[in-house]
Chains A and B, each alone.
Chain A
Amino acid sequence: MTDLSVANTAKRPTFDVEAIRRDFPILSQQVNGKPLVYLDNGASAQKPEAVLDAMDRYYREMHSNVHRGAHTLGDRATAAFEGARETVRRFLNAESTREIIWTRGTTEAINLVANGLAPRLKAGDEILVSYMEHHANIVPWQMIAERTGAKVVPVQVTPEGELDLESFTSLLNDRTRILAITHVSNVLGTVNPVAALMEQAKARGIITLVDGAQAAPHYQPDVRALGCDFYAFSSHKLFGPTGIGVLYGKAQLLEEMPPYQGGGEMIERVSFERTTWNTLPYKFEAGTPAIAEAVGLGAAIDYLNGLDRYAMEAAESALLERANQLVETVPGMEIIGTAKQKVPVMSFKIAGLHPSDIGTLLDQQGIAIRTGHHCAMPLMDFYGVPGTARASFAFYNTLDEVESLFTALQKVQRLFA
Chain B
Amino acid sequence: MTASKETFLTNPLGKDTTLEDVLDGFELLDDWEERYAYIIDLGKQLPAFPDDARIEENYVHGCQSQVWLIHHFDETSGRLYLLIDSDAMIVRGLAAIILVALNGKPPRDLLATDIDELFEKLDLFRHISPTRGNGLRAMVGKIRDIAAAELARTSD
User: Is B17 positioned at the interface, with any CB of A under 8 Å from its CB?
Assistant: no
Say whether, besides A372-B133, A415-B40, A354 and B89 are in contact (CB < 8 Å): yes
Determine which of A353, A386, A387, A415 lies in contact with B36 in the assembled complex, contact meaning CB atoms within 8 Å: A415
Contact A372 B36 (CB under 8 A): no
Interface locus among B8-16, B47-55, B63-71, B143-151 = B63-71
* Alpha-carbon distance between A32 and B36 when the two chains are bound, in angstroms: 14
Inter-chain contacts of A356 with B (CB < 8 A):
64-65, 88, 90-91, 134
User: Is B29 positioned at the interface, with any CB of A under 8 Å from its CB?
Assistant: no
Inter-chain contacts of A341 with B (CB < 8 A):
none
Contact A354 B36 (CB under 8 A): no
Determine which of A32, A355, A415, A416 lies in contact with B64 in the assembled complex, contact meaning CB atoms within 8 Å: A355
User: Is B33 positioned at the interface, with any CB of A under 8 Å from its CB?
Assistant: yes
Of chain B, the residue at the smallest CB distance from A365 is B32
Determine which of A355, A372, A416 lies in contact with B40 in the assembled complex, contact meaning CB atoms within 8 Å: A416
Contact B90 A357 (CB under 8 A): yes
User: Is A371 positioned at the interface, with any CB of B under 8 Å from its CB?
Assistant: yes
User: Is B122 positioned at the interface, with any CB of A under 8 Å from its CB?
Assistant: no
Tell me the smallest distance from the CB of B106 to a CB of chain A, in Å. 33
User: Is A361 positioned at the interface, with any CB of B under 8 Å from its CB?
Assistant: yes
A-B CB contacts (within 8 Å), total count: 42
Tell me the smallest distance from the CB of B150 to a CB of chain A, in Å. 31
Inter-chain contacts of A122 with B (CB < 8 A):
none
Contact B37 A354 (CB under 8 A): no
* Alpha-carbon distance between A215 and B80 when the two chains are bound, in angstroms: 53
Q: Mark A344-368, 1 if CB is under 8 A from B, else 0.
A: 0000000001111100110010000
Is the interface on chain B under 10, 10 to 19, 20 to 34, or 35 or more residues? Answer: 10 to 19
* Alpha-carbon distance between A356 and B64 when the two chains are bound, in angstroms: 7
Interface pairs A-B: 6 shortest CB-CB: A354-B88, A356-B64, A356-B88, A364-B32, A372-B64, A356-B65
Q: Mark A20-62, 1 if CB is under 8 A from B, else 0.
A: 0000000000001000000000000000000000000000000
Inter-chain contacts of A357 with B (CB < 8 A):
88-90
Inter-chain contacts of B64 with A (CB < 8 A):
354-356, 371-373, 386-387
* Alpha-carbon distance between A364 and B90 when the two chains are bound, in angstroms: 13
Of chain B, the residue at the smallest CB distance from A359 is B64
**Residues of chain A from 386 to 406 with CB closer than 8 A to chain B in the complex:** 386-387
A and B contact pairs by CB, cutoff 8 A, 5 listed:
A354-B64, A354-B65, A354-B87, A354-B91, A372-B63
* Alpha-carbon distance between A356 and B89 when the two chains are bound, in angstroms: 9
* Alpha-carbon distance between A353 and B40 when the two chains are bound, in angstroms: 12
* Alpha-carbon distance between A416 and B89 when the two chains are bound, in angstroms: 9
User: Is A218 positioned at the interface, with any CB of B under 8 Å from its CB?
Assistant: no
Contact B90 A32 (CB under 8 A): no
Tell me the smallest distance from the CB of A372 to a CB of chain B, in Å. 5
Tell me the smallest distance from the CB of A379 to a CB of chain B, in Å. 16
User: Is A63 positioned at the interface, with any CB of B under 8 Å from its CB?
Assistant: no
* Alpha-carbon distance between A25 and B89 when the two chains are bound, in angstroms: 35
* Alpha-carbon distance between A170 and B155 when the two chains are bound, in angstroms: 66
Contact A386 B40 (CB under 8 A): no
Determine which of B32, B89, B127 lies in contact with A32 in the assembled complex, contact meaning CB atoms within 8 Å: B32
Contact A386 B33 (CB under 8 A): no
Of chain B, the residue at the smallest CB distance from A372 is B64
Tell me the smallest distance from the CB of A414 to a CB of chain B, in Å. 9
Inter-chain contacts of B32 with A (CB < 8 A):
32, 364
Contact A361 B36 (CB under 8 A): yes
Max chain A CB contacts within 10 Å: which of B37, B40, B64, B134? Answer: B64
Contact A386 B87 (CB under 8 A): yes
Contact B37 A415 (CB under 8 A): yes
Determine which of B66, B89, B91, B127 lies in contact with A386 in the assembled complex, contact meaning CB atoms within 8 Å: B66
Tell me the smallest distance from the CB of A329 to a CB of chain B, in Å. 19
Inter-chain contacts of B133 with A (CB < 8 A):
372
* Alpha-carbon distance between A62 and B13 when the two chains are bound, in angstroms: 62
Tell me the smallest distance from the CB of A208 to a CB of chain B, in Å. 33
* Alpha-carbon distance between A356 and B133 when the two chains are bound, in angstroms: 9
* Alpha-carbon distance between A140 and B65 when the two chains are bound, in angstroms: 27
Tell me the smallest distance from the CB of A147 to a CB of chain B, in Å. 28
User: Is A104 positioned at the interface, with any CB of B under 8 Å from its CB?
Assistant: no
* Alpha-carbon distance between A148 and B79 when the two chains are bound, in angstroms: 55
Q: Mark A318-359, 1 if CB is under 8 A from B, else 0.
A: 000000000000000000000000000000000001111100
Of chain B, the residue at the smallest CB distance from A355 is B64
Contact B90 A411 (CB under 8 A): no
